[in-house]
Amino acid sequence: MTKNDDRVEMLNVNSPGHVVRVERAKYEAMRAAMLAVVPTEAPGLTAAEIKERLLPLLPDALFPGGAKAGWWQKGVQLDLEARGQMARADTRPLRFYRR
């Protein structure tokens, strides 16, 4: 893995055009966990429900005891929304589902 291969661009639906380069391993682990637990139909799950379900799927080597999982969850959620792979249902509290 080269220096460029260990990072990936993460987008933000709330800041079009803004790109953050983050650790590829953590991004891919969180993305896989999110896509595994978020349903494909609205209304979907709340952020708290998603976190509860994805924590057991995360590798402890990358997220020891769930450390920093909340930050990565939010970042990947915004990235998936920006890429059109996840959407928000018009509910309170917000619920998310896959497209």
Find the domain containing 92 and state its range: 3-98
Tell me the per-residue pLDDT of 30-76, one tens digit each, with 9 for 90 and over: 999 999 999 999 999 999 999 999 999 999 999 999 999 999 999 99
- The rounded distance, in Å, linking the Cα atoms of 31 and 26 is 8
Q: Which residues 6+ apart lie within 8 Å of 67 measured at CB? A: none
Determine the pLDDT at residue 5: 85
19: helix, strand or coil: strand
Q: In the chain, how many domains are there?
A: 1
The DSSP call for residue 85 is S
- Structure-block tokens of residue 82: 């920006």
Q: Does position 2 have pLDDT exceeding 80, yes or no?
A: no
At 1, is the pLDDT very low, low, confident or very high (cuts 50, 70, 90)?
very low
The pLDDT of residue 91 is 95
Q: Indicate the average pLDDT of the chain.
A: 95
Q: Name the residue with tokens 């970042």.
A: 75
What is the DSSP-derived secondary structure letter of residue 80? H
